[in-house]
Amino acid sequence: MIGWLAVPRGWLDSFGEIGRFGVRVAGLVYSGRVFKFFGEGLRQAGILIFGSALIIWAFVFILGLQCGLQGAYFNRSIGAPSLAGLFSAYCDLREGLPYAFGYILAAKVGTGIVAELGAMRISDEIDALEVMGIQPLTFLCATRLLGAWIAIPFLYLVGIGIIYAASFLSVVNQVGDVSSGGYLLIFWMYQSPPDLIFSVIKGMTMATVIVLVGCYYGYTASGGPVGVGTATAKSMVFNIVAVHIIGMLGTVVFWGANPRAPIGG
């Protein structure tokens, strides 16, 4: 039976190790040593796009529908249904998309990496790589990080288009308090290119942390099939909390002091 403080204590134990591991892997990418396996990096990017893109976009679409729905009804309740664009502009770009992206990336990509690397560790394939003279950390973890950095910005940008379309559908077509022109006027008025860049930075930070945490838990898995399952579960817990904390810090840093809204002076 586990104790009430088991989860926070486990994080305190592993937080430093995850940090050190992450810095090492990121260092391997930055120092260019990963380009020895550039083909493998491209293959990982391809796996990410073909395996995860559709599910990521479907998830983002559902959250966009929800954003538009809540925003439309909230604005109706304060007597300003034509301002639904304000709510969905903020909800889509600044908050909703990074969180939706973080959740589904943690669920699909993060746990996928743990399952894959964990199975390799359990069946001693990682040791075999080392024996063959290939650095496993570079070949397995750094290439995955490189692949994520290549593919994910584009997945994210397409996701922005999808979440906008979903909010438009639910505000204009489902609830229908505002015309499409009126919605789009307010919607585009309340966002600017810097907001887009901040949003992408938020999403990319989440993606980097998720891939690194996944690599750590997979690379250090032990204890047979049960161990792989437990490591996958642990990585999911860590990733969810990391996504929320990064989201909050991003909001505080980028929009905390200046809401960047075209109101007043």
Partner 1 sequence: MMILTVKTLISAVRAPYPYGEELVWQLLFVLKLSWFPLMISTFALNLGAPGLQAAGVLSLFGALDRLGGFFVVIAIRWIGPLVTAVVVAGVAGTAITADLGARKIREELDALQVLGVDPVKNLVVPRFLALMIVTALLDIFAIVFGLSAGIAAELLYNQPLGGFFATLFSNATITDLWASVLMCTMFGAIVAVVCSYKGMSASGGAAGVGRAVNQAVVISLVAVFFFQFVVSSILLATNPELQAVR
**Furthest CA-CA distance within the chain:** 69
Residue 74 interacting with partner 1 (CB under 8 A):
yes
* Binding residues for partner 1 restricted to 25-54, rule: CB under 8 A: none
Give the residue with the Cβ less far from partner 1, 28 or 171: 171
Number of residues that bind partner 1 (CB under 8 A): 74
Q: Least separation, in Å, of the C-beta of 205 and partner 1?
A: 14
DSSP codes of every residue in 159-206: HHHHHHHHHHIIIIIII-SS-HHHHHHHHHHT--HHHHHHHHHHHHHH
Select the residue interacting with partner 1 from 21, 103, 164, 216 (CB under 8 A). 103
* Binding residues for partner 1 restricted to 117-176, rule: CB under 8 A: 118-119, 122-123, 174
DSSP codes of every residue in 86-133: HHHHIIIIIIIHHHHHHHHIIIIIIHHHHHHHHHHHHTTHHHHHHHTT
Residue 13 interacting with partner 1 (CB under 8 A):
no
Cβ(243)–Cβ(208) below 8 Å: no
In this structure, the dihedral spanned by the alpha carbons of residues 149, 151, 154 and 157, taken in order and rounded to 10 degrees, is: -70
Residue 89 interacting with partner 1 (CB under 8 A):
no
Select the residue interacting with partner 1 from 18, 34, 48, 65 (CB under 8 A). 65
Cβ(111)–Cβ(232) below 8 Å: yes
> By CB neighbour count within 10 A (0-12 exposed, 13-18 middle, 19+ buried), where does 191 fall?
buried
Amino acid type, 5: L
Q: Least separation, in Å, of the C-beta of 128 and partner 1?
A: 15
245: part of which helix (H) or strand (E)? helix 224-255
Give the residue with the Cβ less far from partner 1, 14 or 36: 14
Stretch near partner 1 under the rule CB under 8 A, chosen from 16-24, 40-48, 108-116, 135-143: 108-116
* Binding residues for partner 1 restricted to 191-250, rule: CB under 8 A: 224-233, 236-237, 239-241, 244-245, 247-250
Q: Least separation, in Å, of the C-beta of 144 and partner 1?
A: 15
Q: Least separation, in Å, of the C-beta of 104 and partner 1?
A: 7
Residue 86 interacting with partner 1 (CB under 8 A):
yes
Q: Least separation, in Å, of the C-beta of 31 and partner 1?
A: 30
Residue 90 interacting with partner 1 (CB under 8 A):
yes
Residue 216 CB coordination number (10 Å) = 25
Q: Least separation, in Å, of the C-beta of 249 and partner 1?
A: 8
Residue 252 CB coordination number (10 Å) = 10
Give the residue with the Cβ less far from partner 1, 1 or 132: 1
